[in-house]
Amino acid sequence: MNQEKLQRLIDAYFSQEERRIVIPAGETILEQGADNDRLYYVCSGELEGFYQEEESESQVMVFSASEGAFIGVHSFFSETLIASSTVVSKTESELGWIDTKTTAVELERYGPLTAQFTPIIVNELSRRQRRAMQESIEKEKALQKLYSAEQMTTLGQLAAGIAHELNNAVGVLSSKTERLQSIILELLEEIHPEASSFVDQGLMNGQNISSSEVRTRGREIEERYGLERDLARELARAVPSGELSTYWLSAPEKAIRYWNIGRDLHDMRLAARHSVGIVRSVKQLGRTDIDTDEILDVNDSINKALVLLQSDLRRVSVHMSPAAMPMVKASATELVQVWANVIKNASDAMEKIQSPEIEISTRVSDRFVLVTIANNGPEIDEVTRRKIFQPNFTTKKGGLSFGLGLGLAIVKRIITGYGGSIAVKSNQEKTIFRIKLPVEDGHGKT
């Protein structure tokens, strides 16, 4: 409302001493359902309005009013003269008032009382509409939070129900793998003792070299030793650095075959431990407490994730740029799950890209470990970026790449549980995930 017009009304109708009252704190001005023939103007103080539903024993605060506000607009101008809410003075307040007997000031110039106060009526209706809209928005947000909380509760109950069966299955896989490993090594020692060393190397180290490094190392072996390309690459996986001894070159095909046995057993054990962690993380989706006991190297946890994703990354060129890292206090299983989820999502997003690439870099800044995972897949639009870490949100709708919308929600829960953060940035050239993890005091040196 125009301030000059408002001031004229205040001066004309609410400035007279005989129309001023002082209300102590806690006193009721209007009673819901009671008679009211006055329009009040708040000169100072603060008041609150309450509404009580029929057959309800409690009141709900519907508005607050301070200096410059009007009270009793509805009952006064609708001519019902019945208060629609109860108004109580929160602090000592001074009010000006007019009633139904008040005559219009300068009637010929400004019109009757209702005409003069029309801007106030319109302004009050607009204020109430804005308040109702805001309350509606807040109610919708509250309902969405309640809906998400109920979904998380349901998910937790389902996870608890299947966790026992999954743990049993993983337990069998783990124990049988250990037993199979012992039997294979015993048999090799008896029948083919020279082969056991190749198995041991695969068993101890697995494959700790990325796809792009395999190609580079393979070309080096191919040129130096005159081997065919496929065999050179297999040897690159088994011996990622250094010279190839006669130990490997005397019968490379057999050496690789035995090394593969060890590598596969290594990966099976790793996958079994990882599966246990996945079940635990799903159960913790609705919880804020995360166990963080291990002191570990982030680069090592990323390499483990890459090993687990070998089949997904066969057509993807992966470039790893690790920095010398301090140790962090975290769960190795949970960190592997973080990297595996982000990298797997990147791989899925690049399904139709001609030359898919993933770049992973690590560094340290301000006592934070910074991990950047970038891919050259399609741009993630702004709407999707805002929802990407929300539970139950997924862009994988059909075929074998369906999703439950839990992967990145779990990732964010794990990262924030460590006091870190995760953010995504995307344009037509790259999509980049940036993860920050705090370096634990006392573990800042490599």
Mean pLDDT, residues 288-317: 78
**Cβ proximity of 411 and 290 under 8 Å:** no
* Average model confidence (pLDDT) across the chain: 83
**Cβ proximity of 337 and 277 under 8 Å:** yes
Position 150 confidence tier, pLDDT thresholds 50, 70, 90: low
Structure pTM? 0.43
- Following CA atoms 168, 170, 173, 176 in sequence, which dihedral angle do they give, to the nearest 10 degrees? -50
Burial readout 187-226 (b: 16 or more C-beta within 10 A, e: otherwise): ebeeeeeebbebbebbbeebbebbbbbbeebbeebbeeee
Q: CA–CA separation, 167 vs 288, rounded Å?
A: 22
Max Cα–Cα distance, the chain, nearest Å? 119
Mean pLDDT, residues 300-313: 83
Q: CA–CA separation, 271 vs 308, rounded Å?
A: 7
Q: In Å, how far are 42, 63, 319, 322 from 67, measured between CA atoms?
A: 5, 14, 64, 62
* Lowest pLDDT segment from 279-293, 332-346, 399-413: 279-293
What percentage of the chain reaches a pLDDT higher than 90? 30
- Residue 364, exposed/middle/buried by CB under 10 A (0-12, 13-18, 19+)? middle
Mean pLDDT, residues 263-290: 67
- Tally of residues, the chain: 446
Residue ranges of alpha helices (H) inside 93-117 are 107-110, 113-116
Mean pLDDT, residues 217-230: 91
Q: CA–CA separation, 90 vs 93, rounded Å?
A: 8
Domains of the chain: 3-102 (2.60.120.10), 154-286 (no CATH), 294-438 (3.30.565.10)
Q: CA–CA separation, 204 vs 174, rounded Å?
A: 16
Return the closest-CA partner of residue 357 out of 343, 370, 336. 343
- For residue 189, the one-letter residue type is E
Q: In Å, how far are 169, 255, 388, 409 from 433, measured between CA atoms?
A: 33, 40, 11, 14
Mean pLDDT, residues 137-163: 68
Strand order through the sheet with 93-99: 20-23, 93-99, 38-44, 70-71
Tens digit of pLDDT for each residue in 328-376?
888 887 888 899 889 998 998 898 888 899 999 999 988 899 999 999 9
Position 395 confidence tier, pLDDT thresholds 50, 70, 90: low
Element (H, E) at 421: strand 421-426
Determine the pLDDT at residue 231: 92
Q: CA–CA separation, 42 vs 92, rounded Å?
A: 11
Please determine, for residue 133, whether its predicted confidence score (pLDDT) is greater than 90: no
Q: Residue 37's beta-bridge partner residues?
A: none
**Cβ proximity of 95 and 42 under 8 Å:** yes
Mean pLDDT, residues 82-88: 93
Tell me the CB-side half-sphere exposure of residue 17, using CA atoms within 13 A.
0
Element (H, E) at 325: none
Q: Per the structure block, which two tokens stand in for 1?
A: 């409302």
Rounded to 5 degrees, φ, ψ at 90 are: -75, -40
Return the closest-CA partner of residue 345 out of 409, 265, 291. 409
**Cβ proximity of 357 and 210 under 8 Å:** no
Please determine, for residue 45, whether its predicted confidence score (pLDDT) is greater than 90: yes
What are the DSSP E strand ranges found in 5-163? 20-23, 28-30, 38-44, 46-51, 60-66, 70-71, 86-89, 93-99
Determine the pLDDT at residue 292: 57
What percentage of the chain reaches a pLDDT higher than 70? 86
Please determine, for residue 281, whether its predicted confidence score (pLDDT) is greater than 80: no
Return the closest-CA partner of residue 220 out of 253, 244, 198. 244
More confident residue, 59 or 446: 59
Please determine, for residue 223, whether its predicted confidence score (pLDDT) is greater than 50: yes
